[in-house]
Amino acid sequence: MTELKKMNNTELQKYHSSLSRSYEEMQAQKLKLDMSRGKPCTQQLDLSADLMNCLNKADYIAVNGADCRNYGGVDGIPDAKKLLAWFLEVRPEEVIIGGNSSLTMMYDLITKAMLHKIPGSETPWSKLPQVKFLCPSPGYDRHFAICENLGIEMITINYQADGPDMDEVEKLVATDSAIKGIWCVPKYSNPTGITYSDIVVKRLAAMYTKAPDFRIIWDNAYTVHHLTDSPDPLLNILEACRQAGNPDRVFEFCSTSKISFPGAGLAMLASSENNVNWLKRQISVQTIGPDKLNQLRHVRFFKDQAGIESHMRQHAAIIKPKFDLVLEILESKLGDKNLASWSKPQGGYFISLDTLPGCAQKIVAKAAAAGIILTPAGATFPYGKDPEDKNIRISPTFPPLSELQQAMELFTLCVELVSVEQELTKRGL
Ligand SMILES: Cc1ncc(COP(=O)(O)O)c(C=O)c1O
């Protein structure tokens, strides 16, 4: 039972008046803060400033002798594969390095599966009467946007503490051949912050799927983005699929967007050699080669795994205090009120907050009316529809600490105010 329910009508109305006054005072400050997207802040981008000048005019040859200024190398230079393959615990032969965006690579893969036969397909997906994807939610809005854009029907799957509800996933994929894939953000998930357990990874790798060309889209965007010194472990899914006799089931993705620059990093995918060879043939039609100079730049700048790990510790030193501040304010303002619950992630870019059912949209709107832009409520669910209207994604990384403090004070006030208003309406007051 919420604390609100214990209040009598007079107490509730008094509480509402006091919250409304505080809200009006905040509104008068005419704040203008954006907490809508998980972007690195300027200080984080500055960590990679030397990427801009770490190549000189004589430095353009990759280890295989390729001139990085020229055409060629659709799957990336070996130096870059070696630098990044450990992210996904894969062999360089299982890697394709792309342009700067892993989201582009995901969109591209699914478009290719729609238009051409992916290994195991009898028909390109677009020629089938229906294609469906499983969407563990709350999840990443841009995954869902890809499905919507390509006319793929989305089925919402609930998240549990250690990954998607696997009983539901197994039941659905075993009986419906139109289900061709599942979106997974397996580590420090966007937005819930959870990491998949070994059991979940093994079940995904081994489950029977009615579609022979079913694929797991394993978006490991936050694989090295730890906020503590004890990173969450994650089982190697490519290996698990191989062991389960489904070697081609998974395509893994990640990028350096939140390591170097979101606008000029490196994206990569990893999969079985069979899948990679198929994709290389497809990509060869589309391009004569990616930006290999940027690949070489990353190799020179980071050097090796240790270089990336120490760089990530510097990122954590900048953003951990922001996560801590958000969590402190949530605890101090809402901790004893039973109006919301929230994640306490060990890594990644988000805090996921659940309000009382039916409040999220109104809270986001109230915050916007006082100058704080949040991710739209519902965005973390397929079709932008949160069935309980309760999930809000908080992105602490971009604003400076002082702004974050103001934004969170206003946000928590909006949570209280909307919850009280809902209770007043229920009581007909
Ligand atoms: C889960 C997830 N995947 C992918 C991306 C975007 O990746 P990229 O910049 O490599 O396109 C993001 C960005 O927020 C994300 O949260």
- Locate the domains of the chain by residue range: 3-44+309-426, 61-302
Nearest CA to ligand 1 atom 13: 38
CB 232 within 8 A of CB 198: no
The answer, yes or no, to whether any atom of ligand 1 lies below 6 A from the CB of 219, is yes
pLDDT tens, position by position, 190-222: 999 999 999 999 999 999 999 999 999 999 999
The answer, yes or no, to whether any atom of ligand 1 lies below 6 A from the CB of 255, is yes
Element (H, E) at 143: helix 141-150
Q: Which residues make Cβ contacts (< 8 Å) with residue 281, sequence separation at least 6?
A: none
Ligand 1 centroid – CA 261 distance (Å): 12
Beta bridge mates, 217: 183, 251
- The pick from 146, 190, 266, 393 for probing ligand 1's pocket by mutation, whose C-beta has the most ligand atoms within 8 angstroms, reads 190
- The single residue listed with the structure tokens 């290999």 is 292
In angstroms, what is the C-alpha Rg of the chain? 23
> What is the pLDDT, as a whole number, of residue 1?
56
**Residue 88 and residue 223: Cα distance in Å, rounded?**
8
The answer, yes or no, to whether any atom of ligand 1 lies below 6 A from the CB of 422, is no
The pTM for the full model equals 0.97
Nearest CA to ligand 1 atom 14: 38
**Residue 126 and residue 316: Cα distance in Å, rounded?**
43
> What is the pLDDT, as a whole number, of residue 37?
81
Ligand 1 centroid – CA 180 distance (Å): 22
Q: Which residues make Cβ contacts (< 8 Å) with residue 326, sequence separation at least 6?
A: 351, 394, 396, 404, 408
**Residue 392 and residue 373: Cα distance in Å, rounded?**
12
CATH number of the 61-302 domain: 3.40.640.10
Cα 164–chain centre separation: 15
pLDDT tens, position by position, for the chain (429 residues)? 568 999 999 999 999 999 999 999 999 999 898 888 899 999 999 999 999 999 999 999 999 999 999 999 999 999 999 999 999 999 999 999 999 999 999 999 999 999 999 999 999 999 999 999 999 999 999 999 999 999 999 999 999 999 999 999 999 999 999 999 999 999 999 999 999 999 999 999 999 999 999 999 999 999 999 999 999 999 999 999 999 999 999 999 999 999 999 999 999 999 999 999 999 999 999 999 999 999 999 999 999 999 999 999 999 999 999 999 999 999 999 998 999 999 999 999 999 999 999 999 999 999 999 999 999 999 999 999 999 999 999 999 999 999 999 999 999 999 999 999 999 999 999
> What is the pLDDT, as a whole number, of residue 21?
97
What is the atom index within ligand 1 of the atom nearest the CA of 100?
10
- The pick from 101, 103, 298 for probing ligand 1's pocket by mutation, whose C-beta has the most ligand atoms within 8 angstroms, reads 103
Q: Domain 3-44+309-426 adopts which CATH fold?
A: Aspartate Aminotransferase, domain 1 (3.90.1150)
